[in-house]
Structures are given as C-alpha cells and as structure tokens.
C-alpha cells in the first residue's frame, strides 16, 4: 500500500477511478484472455489446429476462473504471469489445449494486452483533453476581456488581457489531442512473434495468424515491436507533455492566487489544520506535482529503450513499474484541471 494512487486517504487526492478501472487486474486479465482467445480462433482459421478446437479453446479461455494465487506464485518464479496463466488455460481447455498459446510467447500476451489497455487510456485522456479545451475556451469567452498584469521572470512587465494568459494554457491542448490520435495506431498494435520474435513457430503462417488476430482484436499488426519500444516511450512522452501543460496552468493559478497578487478567486480551496481561514489552491499545486512526477518518470521509459537481444527482462519490467503510474498521473491531472476550471470564479480584474 505504498502508492498514492491507491492509498486509503492520499488516494482521495491522487486516485482517479476511471484510470484505475482501466488498469485494474481484472481489466488486464480480460485483455490477456482476449489475446489467447483471438489466437485460438486464428489458429483454427488458419488450419493450425483441427476445426472446432479453436472455438472450443476460446470458450474455455473466456470463462475459466483463474486462480490468482497460482498466477502470482507463477510470476514470482517465472518473472511473468504467462506460463502459469497458460497452464491454467490449457487445463481448462482439455482436448483443445493445443489451441492455447501455441506459437506465442509471454511477451506476445502481455504487450498485446497492454495495447488494449492503452486504447482505453487514450479514449479517456482524449475525452478529458477535449473537455479541458472547452472549459478553458469558455473561461476565455466569459472572462478573457479582464485586465491583469503580464509577468516575466516573476516581475510585473506590461498589462495584458486575461485572454492572453488563458491562450497560453489553451495553446498546446489541441496539439495533444492530435498527437494522441497520431500515436494510437503506433501503440494499439498486436504483438505476435513467438519465442524469439521471428514467428518461426507458426511455420510460415505467422502473418496469416496475425492478420486474423489483429482483425478480431481491432489492432494493427505492426509486425513485431517486442524489442522496439519507441512507440511506448513516445506515448509516455506525450502523456508527460500533457502533464507539463497542466503543470504550467497549475503554477500560474497558484501564483495568481497569492495575496498581494489576487488575480484569481477560487471556490472551495483546501483548509488547513492550523489556519481555518486559509483557502489553499490544492488542485493547482497538484498539477505542478503531477507534472514534476511525470517529468521524472519519463526518464525511466527512455532507459527502457536499451532493450537488449530478443527480450530484456530487465528493461521490459522497468516499463511495468513506470508506465501505469504515468497514465494514472496524467489522467488525474486532467480531471484535476477540469475541476480547477470549475472552481475559477474570477480571473483578472473586472473593472480597470
């Protein structure tokens, strides 16, 4: 219970239920099942297993209860859950066991499951970016004509309209939406390569099997990204860029909320245990925290690019440690930014 995202009370600040559901064990397990079921059916469709065996296996894959303790113990031993997962599925599939996982390897299952998780993640983030764009645009429409002081290097510089400051917050958002859209097909990709990634176990039919699977999972067949983590790191980069945008917004609001500056009035600020009169810009500070958190994490995703040979257990596991938290921080940042927009009662000076 060390993560703020699941902490019994700090979770009140950091947790985002939507992203937590997307990355839950249940959701990830369902994606792993989806991979194996799609493979079983594809094996049948390509004549790699007798007619009916693929469907039979897929059904078993869909419905069998997974022994989670055994799965965790298997992960302790193997470093990945898939060997035990497959063992459980094969036992459930009975006579159709040969249609389970044949030709595939652990990374195929986990990377494809990740691709399915990132699809839902992108849906969530895109919706929130759009909402934030709308909220800031509305703020600009209603309060953009107010006057305020433009500040550079922490010093009063020249008067500006509030719209100019808001434009700075708005400017990158459509770019983020567009960039996410461009990145999606690069990460929403089937991974299918087998033991060393060359698909040799499919005896020349790897592409047929993959095409079938990609179609049923609605993924692209990117023919093998198991050691090329560029797209995953680039995706993490975009999420951290989004957090950076939000961090600037939060920092600006926190500075505007200072007594003596008084350029924003927020409803419902946070209370203090020592000073009941205070109204702290909690969400604004949170945006700064999350920006610096993701700016820290992105480094780890780039180190994971040094993914040696046909599979690096060390580099791959580093992604598992870091990427989910980047998505959680980004999603929470966006929900917090949208909440913060709602709390802005006045920005700039009405009369001047």
Which residues ranging from 287 to 306 are in contact with a second copy (CB under 8 A)?
A: 288-289, 291-300, 302-306
DSSP state of 308: -
> Which CB atom, from 1 or from 51, has the smaller least distance to a second copy?
1
Contacts (CB under 8 A) with a second copy, residues 203-232: 224-225, 227-231
Nearest approach, Cβ of residue 316 and a second copy (Å): 8
Nearest approach, Cβ of residue 191 and a second copy (Å): 13
Q: Verify binding: residue 280, a second copy, rule CB under 8 A.
A: yes
Which residue in the set 9, 51, 63, 65 belongs to the binding site for a second copy (CB under 8 A)?
Answer: 9
> Which CB atom, from 51 or from 204, has the smaller least distance to a second copy?
204
Nearest approach, Cβ of residue 258 and a second copy (Å): 6
* Contact string (CB under 8 A) for a second copy, positions 34-53, x = contact: --------------------
Within 13 Å and on the Cβ side, how many CA atoms surround 19? 27
> Which CB atom, from 62 or from 285, has the smaller least distance to a second copy?
285
Do 293 and 331 contact (CB within 8 A), yes or no?
Answer: no
| CA–CA separation, 11 and 123 (whole Å) | 23
* Angle subtended by helix axes 162-187 and 230-256, to nearest 10: 160
Beta bridge partners of 148: 160
Strand ranges inside 60-185, DSSP E: 147-152, 155-161
Instruction: Provide the token pair at 134.
Output: 């709308």
Contacts (CB under 8 A) with a second copy, residues 173-192: 175-176, 179, 186
Bridge-based pairing of strands 220-221 and 189-190 is parallel
Nearest approach, Cβ of residue 271 and a second copy (Å): 5
Residue whose entry in the numeric block shows the structure tokens 């990945």:
80
Instruction: Provide the token pair at 162.
Output: 């509030």
Size of the site for a second copy (CB under 8 A): 147
Instruction: Provide the token pair at 260.
Output: 């003596």
Which residue in the set 203, 275, 351, 352 belongs to the binding site for a second copy (CB under 8 A)?
Answer: 275
Which residue in the set 126, 310, 338, 349 belongs to the binding site for a second copy (CB under 8 A)?
Answer: 310
Name the phi and psi angles at 276, rounded to 5: -60, -20
Which residue in the set 97, 190, 214, 244 belongs to the binding site for a second copy (CB under 8 A)?
Answer: 244
Nearest approach, Cβ of residue 273 and a second copy (Å): 4
Which residue in the set 134, 138, 142, 278 belongs to the binding site for a second copy (CB under 8 A)?
Answer: 278
Q: Which of 251, 256, 276, 277 is nearest to 266 (CA)?
A: 256
Cα–Cα–Cα angle for 51, 54, 59, nearest 5°?
130
Burial class (CB in 10 A: 0-12, 13-18, 19+), 324: buried
Name the phi and psi angles at 9, rounded to 5: -120, -35
Q: Verify binding: residue 333, a second copy, rule CB under 8 A.
A: no
| CA–CA separation, 70 and 72 (whole Å) | 5
Please tell me whether residue 82 adopts helix, strand or coil conformation.
Answer: helix
> Which CB atom, from 63 or from 154, has the smaller least distance to a second copy?
154
Contacts (CB under 8 A) with a second copy, residues 51-110: 68, 71-83, 85-86, 101, 104-106, 109
Q: Verify binding: residue 308, a second copy, rule CB under 8 A.
A: yes
Which residue in the set 51, 63, 158, 203 belongs to the binding site for a second copy (CB under 8 A)?
Answer: 158
| CA–CA separation, 159 and 151 (whole Å) | 8
Nearest approach, Cβ of residue 55 and a second copy (Å): 22
Q: Verify binding: residue 349, a second copy, rule CB under 8 A.
A: no
- Counted residue by residue, the chain has a size of 352
> Which CB atom, from 9 or from 204, has the smaller least distance to a second copy?
9
């Amino acid at each position: 219970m060390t993560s703020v995202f699941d902490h019994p009370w700090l979770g009140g600040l950091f947790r985002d239920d939507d992203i937590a559901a997307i990355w839950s064990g249940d959701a990830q397990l369902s994606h792993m099942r989806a991979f194996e079921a799609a493979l079983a059916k594809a094996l049948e469709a390509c004549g790699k297993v007798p007619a009916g065996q693929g469907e039979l296996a897929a059904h078993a894959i869909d419905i069998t209860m997974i022994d989670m303790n055994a799965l965790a113990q298997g992960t302790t031993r193997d470093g990945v859950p898939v060997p035990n997962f497959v063992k459980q599925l094969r036992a459930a599939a009975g006579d159709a066991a040969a249609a389970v996982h044949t030709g595939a390897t652990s990374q195929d299952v986990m990377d494809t499951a990740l691709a399915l998780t990132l699809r839902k993640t992108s849906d969530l983030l895109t919706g929130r970016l759009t909402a934030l764009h709308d909220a800031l645009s509305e703020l600009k429409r209603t309060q953009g004509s107010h006057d305020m002081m433009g500040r550079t290097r922490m010093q009063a510089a020249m008067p500006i309209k509030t719209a100019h400051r808001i434009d700075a917050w708005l400017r990158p958002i459509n770019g983020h939406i567009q960039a996410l859209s461009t990145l999606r097909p690069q990460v929403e990709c089937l991974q299918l390569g087998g033991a060393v990634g060359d698909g040799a176990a499919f005896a020349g039919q790897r592409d047929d099997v993959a095409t079938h699977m990609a179609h049923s999972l609605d993924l692209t067949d990117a023919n093998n990204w198991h050691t090329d983590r560029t797209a995953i790191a680039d995706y993490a980069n975009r999420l951290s860029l989004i957090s950076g945008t939000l961090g600037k917004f939060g920092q600006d609001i926190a500075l505007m909320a200072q007594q003596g500056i008084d350029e924003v009035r927020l409803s419902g600020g946070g209370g203090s245990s020592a000073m009941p009169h205070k109204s702290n810009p909690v969400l604004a500070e949170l945006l700064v925290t999350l920006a610096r958190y993701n700016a820290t994490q992105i480094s780890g995703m780039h180190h994971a690019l040094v993914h040696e040979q046909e599979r690096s257990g060390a580099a791959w596991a580093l992604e598992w440690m870091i990427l989910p938290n980047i998505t959680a921080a980004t999603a929470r940042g966006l929900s917090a930014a949208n909440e913060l927009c709602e709390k802005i009662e006045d920005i700039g000076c009405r009369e001047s």
